[in-house]
């Protein structure tokens, strides 16, 4: 964070057209989620100008790559930093979903330097909590907004031109399957006594079938997926306002088909009994919203099966997390255990394994 100074902020905000004659005289920087972020650093920065600056932000969120070399290398290898910056440049103006406004998007690919200055929504919206889950009215609102977002990009010509955004079956995305396959034996051994017996067969088969499943997703209707669509990446504001739902963290966005966003959200952000009771209605709501927004030739039965296989694919999250989570972190351990229960139960309830290619 040493690079961020009043002079640098002045230059960045002027480049974005957010200030003209005024300059940032001083700043106050406070870490957000210190010790939590693996790939990046977040800071809330309060700005004080040398003169009145109408329309200029009084505060903002700075998002920068991590200073830890190993983690930074991961972010560079998988182009997470570049992906989010390009998302704000190319997709955000047409998004069809409320996201934080970007005041500045800076990158130097050769040097590996990236910076985002984003809208500060502190006091306007609260951060979701995957461990606490959400109620059904909130889930319905999220599913509607997700369907509108997907519909806005459904087979849109622009998707084909976003060549910086990986497809679901690009090598960088297939690596998740390799991680899953490597983690599954340890996961099954460590947690086997707590897992539904009916999970073991589909859980073991998913790794070898991963590439085939992603190849199938790549042949479907093409749109943009967030790919980390969980409550911890959502902000919730006043119902009915333009801040009712704000989706953050777009480092993992991909192009392709498949309802991974929907499967991940419903199976891992709702308590088991709530999901069981309302699941089919939520998927029907998603489908009805899609079709109302103009999506055609996509019957509900296919949507339902696409959701089921997506729930199975989302098993990659608890399987990978269960063997890599620092269990000395109480919240991390609690989240890992809860999403494992939610996810594995959903896979079995839906008999999702029958949809894997033979």
pLDDT at 107: 85
Q: Which residues of 152-190 are buried (b: 16+ CB within 10 A; e: fewer)?
A: bbbebeebeebeebbbbbeeebeebbebbbebbeebbee
Splitting the chain (358 residues) into consecutive groups of 10 residues, what average pLDDT does each group show?
84 94 96 66 96 95 86 84 95 95 89 90 94 97 98 97 97 94 93 91 97 97 97 96 96 96 98 98 99 98 98 96 74 87 98 95
| Alpha-carbon gap, residue 50 to 65, rounded angstroms | 29
| Alpha-carbon gap, residue 354 to 358, rounded angstroms | 9
Could you give the angle at the alpha carbon of 73 between the alpha carbons of 315 and 336, nearest 5°? 25
- The H or E element containing residue 254 is strand 254-256
The answer to whether the 6-119 and 126-355 domains have the same CATH topology is no
pLDDT at 34: 54
pLDDT at 38: 62
Q: Which residues of 303-327 are buried (b: 16+ CB within 10 A; e: fewer)?
A: bbebbbbbbbbbbbbbbbbbbeeee
Cβ-Cβ contacts under 8 Å for 88 (sequence gap 6 or more): 102, 105, 116, 250
pLDDT at 216: 97
Quote the longest CA-to-CA distance of the chain: 68
What are the residue ranges spanned by the domains of the chain?
6-119, 126-355
Pairing of strands 59-65, 102-108: unpaired
Decide: pTM greater than 0.85: yes
Given strand 126-127, what is the order of strands in its sheet?
Answer: 126-127, 234-236, 246-247
Among the four given CATH numbers 3.30.200, 1.10.3470, 2.40.160, 3.40.50, the one describing domain 6-119: 3.30.200
The 8-class DSSP code of residue 109 comes to: T
Do 94 and 162 contact (CB within 8 A), yes or no? no
The 8-class DSSP code of residue 93 comes to: G
DSSP letter for each residue of 127-184: EP-TTT---HHHHHHHHHHHHHHHHHHTT-HHHHH-TTSPBTTSHHHHHHHHHHHHHH
CB atoms within 10 A of CB 215: 13
**CATH class for the region spanning 126-355:** alpha beta
Give me the torsion for CA of 268, 273, 278, 280, rounded to 10°: 70
pLDDT at 35: 43
Burial bucket for residue 193 (CB in 10 Å: 0-12, 13-18, 19+): exposed
């Amino acid at each position: 964070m040493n690079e961020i100074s009043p002079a640098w902020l002045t230059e960045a905000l002027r480049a974005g057209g957010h200030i003209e004659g005024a300059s940032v005289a001083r700043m106050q920087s406070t870490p957000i989620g210190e010790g939590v972020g693996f790939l990046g650093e977040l800071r809330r920065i309060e700005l004080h100008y040398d003169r009145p600056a109408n329309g200029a932000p009084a505060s903002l969120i700075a998002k920068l790559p991590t200073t830890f070399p190993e983690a930074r290398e991961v972010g560079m290898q998988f182009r997470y930093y570049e992906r989010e910056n390009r998302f704000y440049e190319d997709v955000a103006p047409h998004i069809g979903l409320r996201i934080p406004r970007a005041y500045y998007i800076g990158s130097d690919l050769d040097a590996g330097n990236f910076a985002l200055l984003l809208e500060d929504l502190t006091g306007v919206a609260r951060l979701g909590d995957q461990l606490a889950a959400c109620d059904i009215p909130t889930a319905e609102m999220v599913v509607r907004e997700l369907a509108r977002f997907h519909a806005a990009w459904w087979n849109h010509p622009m998707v084909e031109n976003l060549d910086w955004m990986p497809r679901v079956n690009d090598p960088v995305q297939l690596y998740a399957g390799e991680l899953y396959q490597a983690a599954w034996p340890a996961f099954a051994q460590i947690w086997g006594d707590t897992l539904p017996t009916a999970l073991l067969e589909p859980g073991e088969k998913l790794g070898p079938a991963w590439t085939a499943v992603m190849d199938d997703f790549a042949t479907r209707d093409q749109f943009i997926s967030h790919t980390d669509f969980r409550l911890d990446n959502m902000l919730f504001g006043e119902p009915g306002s333009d801040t009712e739902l704000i989706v953050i963290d777009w480092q993992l966005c991909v192009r392709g088909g498949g309802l991974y966003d929907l499967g991940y959200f419903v199976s891992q952000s709702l308590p088991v009994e709530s999901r069981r009771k309302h699941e089919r209605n939520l998927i029907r709501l998603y489908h009805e919203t899609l079709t109302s927004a103009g999506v055609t030739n996509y019957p509900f039965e296919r949507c339902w099966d696409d959701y089921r296989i997506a729930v199975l694919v989302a098993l990659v999250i608890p399987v990978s997390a269960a063997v890599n989570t620092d269990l000395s972190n109480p919240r991390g351990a609690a989240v890992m255990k809860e999403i494992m229960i939610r996810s594995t139960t959903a896979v079995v309830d839906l008999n999702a394994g029958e949809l894997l290619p033979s």
